Chains A and B, each alone.
Chain A
Amino acid sequence: MSPEMTEAEIRQIRTGILEKYAKVAVEGAGCCFKYPTGKEGMTRQGYPLEILRDFPPEILAAFCGVGNPFGLGPLYPGDAILDIGCGAGVDSLVAAHLAGPGGRVVGIDVTFAMLQQARAHLARLGWPQVSFQVADAEALPFPDNDFDAVISNGVFNLTLNKAKALQEAHRVLKPGGRLMLADMVLVAALPSDRQDQVANWYQ
């Protein structure tokens, strides 16, 4: 978070993010992103073939991640996994598939409408080892040393206090636990007329 950011700007960013993802929940992943979403996006990012083959099409269609965090290393049967900013729950369900019925997956998000989608997708699969709840990355409602892996896809760039969110991710990981994160980074300088725009956060 920029130290000079005002309370009003912070509120504007939070509201903008919530409104954008409420729109995504209603209109689908294809409405609001400039990169491939849905099954095409997952295919391009190298998601496991059995996921692309076996998951219901409506679940695959909800993917709007910016990468494939599962490409960073294996998840193991029985792993406990936290998905920060789970959205419609696609990666949470991929994680549950990889960790198997003995695993535990929790997806958190701040957007209630996206969590409703995630719960609908979960109901389609009926996996008891998965749950979804409203929670903020900057204040995780979990004890220390609770998860074997923390995954996230396109979320930390939207997090105002990244240092706090990373500290929280570290706190809830077990010793030896892995953070596997896909996100957006700046690869070129913003034009001078856009550098201070609060709307950069959610457009």
Chain B
Amino acid sequence: MDFLGLLLKAGFHRAALKRYTGFKSSPYTEGALFYGEKLVDASAQDAIRSQAEHLSEPLTEVACEPGST
């Protein structure tokens, strides 16, 4: 599961990679800004986690692995 999927699985809603920062720590890695919110309605969080678990296709965003900062 990629990083956005992990955000959803953790219960965040409105999870998104908002934009890239332009800072590159290597030819293969670039800074990016991620955002998420904790829902006020706790019952809805279960639905978000369920949504992450049922992702059948990988999201387009890449995961934060490996390091390099």
- Chain A positions within 8 Å of B, measured between CB atoms, are 2, 13, 17, 33-36, 41, 44-45, 64, 66-69, 71-73, 154-158, 162-163, 166-167, 169-170, 173-190, 197, 200-203
Contacts and interface: CB of A to CB of B under 8 A. Distances in A.
Contacts, number: 159
24 contacts: A35-B23, A45-B21, A66-B23, A66-B31, A71-B33, A154-B31, A163-B10, A174-B38, A176-B37, A178-B35, A178-B38, A179-B7, A180-B35, A183-B3, A183-B69, A184-B32, A185-B29, A187-B28, A187-B62, A188-B28, A200-B66, A200-B67, A200-B68, A201-B66
Contacts of B31: 35, 66-67, 154, 182-185
A166 B9 CA distance: 9
Interface of B: 1, 3, 6-7, 9-12, 17-18, 20-42, 61-69
Nearest to A158: B67
B23 A72 contact: no
Nearest to A195: B66
Contact of A162 (B27, B37, B64): B64
Given A72-B35, A185-B64, A34 B28 contact: no
A189 B11 CA distance: 29
Nearest to A179: B36
Contact of B25 (A35, A68, A170, A175): A35
A176 B68 contact: no
A167 B52 CA distance: 13
Given A66-B23, A162-B65, A181 B12 contact: no
Contacts of B39: 175-176
